[in-house]
Structure 1
Amino acid sequence: MANLRDIRNRINSVENTKQVTRAMKMVAAAKLRKAQERIFNTRPYAFKIREIVDHLQEELDPTAHEFFQQREAIDGVLLIVITADRGLAGAFNSNVIKKAEEAIESQYRDVQKAGNLYLLCVGRKGHEHFSKRDYQVVGDYRGVFDSLSFKTASGIVDDAIEGYRRELWDKVDVVYNEFKNTIAQNRIVEPLLPLPEETFATPIMKEELNGEPETNNDQEIDYIFEPGAVKILDELVPRYLNYQLWRALLESNAAEQGARMVAMDNATSNAEDLLEDLRITYNRERQNAITMEILDITSGAEALGDG
């Protein structure tokens, strides 16, 4: 009977786990809907401001703004890695960490050897991973996704700009998971500083652009800037950087909720399969126990009858 008791305890434990995973799936689904709304509201503005900045780059001298100037030597690099604060989201965190390590290995190995590679990790998982290894981690942006706000993006951009102006790093890249759909994400390595010379759009943003009605390309649009292109650029570039990073944070947050929802759905399905196997095992053991008891009773009755 001890074996049956152990199986019952396992059944109860798995049932409790299934209730937890089902609840976490429902919470992730609710958060995902809100995160998607924020993304869909942010993407068009972020892309449009990128388009205006591109046009200003074409019209003005490349040295018109300090963030347009491509530095001759890349002696220092800042990598902004966006992960989650929590786990239980499948391979969400490990994928973006792996992407960052691949970028370091393929592009910035010499910079790392020289001790000039810096990592700014947004999210607890990335911060803990790189802090335990031989990396220079700057800033502390753990726990930001509990109350994600535009102020967070502005603070990160301010830190990146400060180090860029002090020439601690000559290049800033952002690594994050871009939300594609509930079950898939795009792992993105996106330049932030200096501004890329050509129009940069992530795969999702390109799809959205291709889905828009085509304009008449035979006529070039001539913009008139007031009070002036340079003054507008000084105001627009910091806003552009803030919104690009804000969009990356929203993309990562939505991708995290989608990954967690799928992971918890799989965990719930696995729990149901395990419960079915345990119940079959329990019934089989119970039947064996009953059969043994009947045999004991029958054997005893036969022994009494022989006596």
Structure 2
Amino acid sequence: MANLRDIRNRIESIKNTQQITRAMKMVAAAKLRKAQNRIIETRPYASKMKEVVGRLVKNAGDQNILLRKPEKTEKVLFIVISSDRGLCGAFNNNLFKKVQATIEEDFSTYREQGDLSLITLGKKGTKHFGKRGYELSHQDSNFFDNLEYTKPVEVMKKVVADFKAGNIDAVYLAYNEFKSVIAQNRIIEPVLPIDPSKLAGEDTSESIDYIYEPGVESILDDLLPLHLNMQLWKAILESNAAEQGARMTAMDNATENAKELERDLQLEYNQARQSAITTEISEIVSGAQALEEA
């Protein structure tokens, strides 16, 4: 049995850990409120943008290069959004497992031939896929340090340029969608070429005849890149909110586990202390009896 000093030191260490996890939970809760506000503000705009683009595409067809599906898909790109920091439970690992399973199931040939590459936004994703030999065409290991709209715009601008140049034929986006504090949806969705069927929602304005100036094609040239920017930005905000929710839950669980461990150690300490006192009393009684006999 461990001595009393060792048990006391372990109890103090666990109490200090509880203070840290409790503080991290409070920080994550504050960040989560801010992240939720940002995603709530963004969702209506992204939804309306998707609706407008869908209506335009319906009238324009697939003349725009971003809508045109290549005859043969030769090169594939995945954009994987993870976190910069850990201590958020299985938030990152669950997404990585799904991405790897999807690649192994549908794109293993592309990877073997060197025709599959990744863009990793977040330090954890860069570290995970870099260690496993995936080709990283672009990486940003401190993406969430200063989260601004200009960041996804720069990333998507490069992706669109490569797609138009024929350097990539298909782009997929992988991220955690915020569902609740304790749950996230792991999403892998196609980004390029833009699928018109994914844009078509419930159209309540079929009877309205719109006149477009300067023309549908010209408007699409400007709106499609903006739609892609918003799609990536929304995914980043969803992932950020999901990360804070996962960290808040993980720190709450860690605090509760520490409390349970502290109770177990306190019981062990009391038992060890009682045993030590009993031993001392027995020694005193034995000594007194020895003196009386003498």
The aligned counterpart of 2:278 is: 291
The aligned counterpart of 1:241 is: 228
User: Which of 260, 268, 271 is matched with 1:281 structurally?
Assistant: 268
What is the identity, as a one-letter code, of the residue corresponding to 2:190?
A: P
Local SS of the residue matching 2:138? coil
What is the identity, as a one-letter code, of the residue corresponding to 1:295?
A: S
For structure 1, the 5+ residue unaligned runs are 202-208
CA shift, 1:131, in A, is: 0.9
**Equivalents in 1 of 2:278, 2:293: separation in Å?**
22
**Equivalents in 2 of 1:51, 1:257: separation in Å?**
30
* Partners of 2:51 and 2:199 within 8 A in 1: no
Matching of residues 8-87 of structure 1 within 5 Å: 8-63=8-63, 65-87=64-86
CA shift, 1:305, in A, is: 0.9
**Equivalents in 1 of 2:14, 2:208: separation in Å?**
64
The aligned counterpart of 2:140 is: 141
Residue 255 (structure 1) aligned with residue 242 (structure 2) = yes
The aligned counterpart of 2:95 is: 96
**Equivalents in 1 of 2:93, 2:160: separation in Å?**
28
The aligned counterpart of 2:112 is: 113
**Equivalents in 1 of 2:190, 2:212: separation in Å?**
27
What is the identity, as a one-letter code, of the residue corresponding to 1:283?
A: N
CA shift, 1:215, in A, is: 8.3
CA shift, 1:216, in A, is: 5.8
CA shift, 1:113, in A, is: 1.7
Q: Which runs of 4+ in 1 moved over 4 A?
A: 214-217
TM-score (norm 1): 0.92
Q: Deviations over 1:132-186 (max 9, x none)?
A: 1221101121111111110111011012112212222100110000000100011
* Partners of 1:18 and 1:268 within 8 A in 2: yes
For structure 2, the 5+ residue unaligned runs are none
Aligned residues: 294
Residue 220 (structure 1) aligned with residue 219 (structure 2) = no
CA shift, 1:227, in A, is: 2.2
What is the identity, as a one-letter code, of the residue corresponding to 1:236?
A: L
TM-score (norm 2): 0.96
Q: Deviations over 1:76-108 (max 9, x none)?
A: 001000000111100000011111111111221
* Partners of 1:76 and 1:169 within 8 A in 2: yes
**Equivalents in 2 of 1:151, 1:126: separation in Å?**
21
After TM superposition, the structure 1 stretch with the greater mean CA deviation from structure 2, 147-156 or 102-111, is: 102-111
**Equivalents in 2 of 1:42, 1:36: separation in Å?**
10
Task: Give the share of equivalent positions with the same residue, in percent.
Answer: 51
**Equivalents in 1 of 2:244, 2:217: separation in Å?**
41
Q: CA RMSD of the aligned region, Å?
A: 1.7
**Equivalents in 2 of 1:265, 1:231: separation in Å?**
52
CA shift, 1:197, in A, is: 2.3
**Equivalents in 1 of 2:85, 2:131: separation in Å?**
17
Q: Deviations over 1:227-282 (max 9, x none)?
A: 22112111111111111100000000000000000000000000000000000100
* Partners of 1:82 and 1:175 within 8 A in 2: yes
**Equivalents in 2 of 1:91, 1:183: separation in Å?**
11
Local SS of the residue matching 1:227? coil
What is the identity, as a one-letter code, of the residue corresponding to 2:57?
A: Q
**Equivalents in 2 of 1:200, 1:111: separation in Å?**
28
